[in-house]
Amino acid sequence: MEISFLGAAQEVGRSCMHLSGSDQIMLDCGLKIHASENFPMDPPRRPDFVVVSHAHLDHTGFLPALYRHDRPELICTPPTLAMGELIIADSMKIMAHRGEFPYRAQHVKRMLSAATKLSYRKWYELGDSTLSFYQAGHIPGAAMAEINTGGKRILYSGDFKLEGTHTTFPSEFAPKNPDVLIMESTYSDRDHPPRKELEREFKERLDKILGEGGTVLLPAFAIGRTQELVRIVRTANRDVDIWIDGMGWKVSEMVSHFSSYMNEFKKLRADLDSCKPVLHKKDRDKVLKKPCVIIATAGMLQGGPALSYLLRLGPESHAIFTGYCVPETNGYNLINKGFVEYDGVQIKPKASHSYLDFSAHAGRSELFELAKEMSPQKIFCVHGDRCVDFAEELKVEGYDAHAPALGETVKI
């Protein structure tokens, strides 16, 4: 049996792997939306099945392209399907803006008609192979996938977080000793600060900015992060106005359908009900009239309402980044170089900014913990900027680890 690494190989973005044994199975098919090389490579053979770990664009954004000529069965959790549909519609707009049309609405429709929803810890047959999902933390509906195929047991971690948050459950461990563990390595170089400490720090910054008459802008991914931030803000301040702008509101309306996939769901629902949506562009003037909290997409400031708010806020206001920013995105450039790009022009915003590491990904210790708990025969490190170094570190610990190159096919 062979595994081909078609994306997320020594990089973050366009996650895509292909298992070729008794069946042709693809794992994720995402985009690297802010890069010139943004699509995954072609699979060696057309997949019969596509297993999707979670709804983020870097895992789902290229899926409909598989349905231009084929109709592979797509398997994912119920929240992943619903949220994935939203995020794919949004990515089509972004790509159209760039003049890219890798697929059309009819391919999205065909993809949705080929989808099967599978919840955690239930076995499902993929031809002669079998699949089971496990809770992966990270965002609601995120799954690790255990696949028995071609005589091998393969565990794909997708993106995961062992520690639970206000909105996600802790990730669970699949049965030990798989033949292969394909694992994300996003934060292999560091641990995240304890959540309690971060929340205390967040409250201090929030109180200070609001107390001085400023507004706090929270650029956020629509799925997971927006909802978690609502909980964090409300825990820190019961009364401040919270506005949600962009796709985060649509996702927030959707979460009641998936209450069993959300941690502390009742508290989340109550806190979401205390927020106000920004449904029209013209309402943004109203939002900016008095100090408040704005949670808006895009999380990396690549367009979306968050960028337009940032450019309108004054020096009394402050933007707090709370998640991963891919190099060369506006979010990354602002944090590391102090500017954003708008209409091709570099701009230094008047509002100040800071970063608090509320990551939805496993930190370094959690990555090592997963490897130790699973004790696989072989580890492939993907989805990271330093996969090669991480694989070397795992080797020192006695694991058979490898960071595949883009397009590499490995026989196992």
Q: Spell out the SS3 assignment of 33-60.
A: CCCCCCCCCCCCCCCCEEECCCCCHHHH
Residue in the structure block whose two tokens are 């009394």 = 316
Count, residues near Zn ion per rule CB under 5 A = 3
Question: 327 or 338: whose CB is closer to Zn ion?
Answer: 327
Asked if 142 and 134 touch (Cβ cutoff 8 Å), the reply is no
Question: 146 or 159: whose CB is closer to Zn ion?
Answer: 159
Question: How near is the Cβ of 330 to Zn ion at its closest, in Å?
Answer: 19
**Residues 374-403, interacting with Zn ion (CB under 5 A):** none
Question: 138 or 402: whose CB is closer to Zn ion?
Answer: 138
Residue type at 45 in one-letter notation: R
Contacts of 330 (CB under 8 A, 6+ apart): 300, 301, 302, 307, 340, 341
Asked if 319 and 351 touch (Cβ cutoff 8 Å), the reply is yes
Question: How near is the Cβ of 363 to Zn ion at its closest, in Å?
Answer: 15
**Nearest residue to 76 (alpha-carbon basis) of 93, 91, 54, 57:** 54
Question: 159 or 366: whose CB is closer to Zn ion?
Answer: 159
Binding flag, residue 58, Zn ion (CB under 5 A): yes
**Residues 149-178, interacting with Zn ion (CB under 5 A):** 159
Asked if 376 and 155 touch (Cβ cutoff 8 Å), the reply is yes
Question: 166 or 383: whose CB is closer to Zn ion?
Answer: 383
Question: How near is the Cβ of 227 to Zn ion at its closest, in Å?
Answer: 14
Q: Which span (53-61, 274-282, 373-381, 385-393) binds Zn ion, by CB under 5 A?
A: 53-61
Question: How near is the Cβ of 58 to Zn ion at its closest, in Å?
Answer: 4
Question: How near is the Cβ of 54 to Zn ion at its closest, in Å?
Answer: 6
How many Å apart are CA 402 and CA 388, to the nearest integer?
Answer: 7
DSSP string, 194-222: PHHHHHHHHHHHHHHHHHTT--EEEE--T
Question: 41 or 236: whose CB is closer to Zn ion?
Answer: 41
Dig out the tokens for 64 from the structure: 């409909």
Q: Which span (52-60, 146-154, 207-215, 262-270) binds Zn ion, by CB under 5 A?
A: 52-60
Q: Which span (51-59, 118-126, 346-354, 397-405) binds Zn ion, by CB under 5 A?
A: 51-59
How many Å apart are CA 327 and CA 350, to the nearest integer?
Answer: 22
Binding flag, residue 28, Zn ion (CB under 5 A): no
Question: How near is the Cβ of 70 to Zn ion at its closest, in Å?
Answer: 24
Question: 12 or 216: whose CB is closer to Zn ion?
Answer: 12
Q: Is 410 exposed, middle or buried (0-12, 13-18, 19+ CB in 10 A)?
A: middle
Binding flag, residue 90, Zn ion (CB under 5 A): no
Sheet holding 293-296, edge to edge: 276-278, 242-245, 293-296, 216-219, 318-321, 352-355
Question: How near is the Cβ of 122 to Zn ion at its closest, in Å?
Answer: 22
DSSP string, 119-177: -BT--EEETTEEEEEEE--SSTT-EEEEEEETTEEEEE--S--SS--SSSPPP-PPPS-
Question: 13 or 305: whose CB is closer to Zn ion?
Answer: 13
Question: How near is the Cβ of 226 to Zn ion at its closest, in Å?
Answer: 14
Tell me which of 18, 34, 56, 153 binds Zn ion, using CB under 5 A. Answer: 56
Binding map of Zn ion across residues 184-223, x = CB under 5 A, - = no contact: ----------------------------------------
Chain residues that interact with Zn ion, rule: CB under 5 A: 56, 58, 159
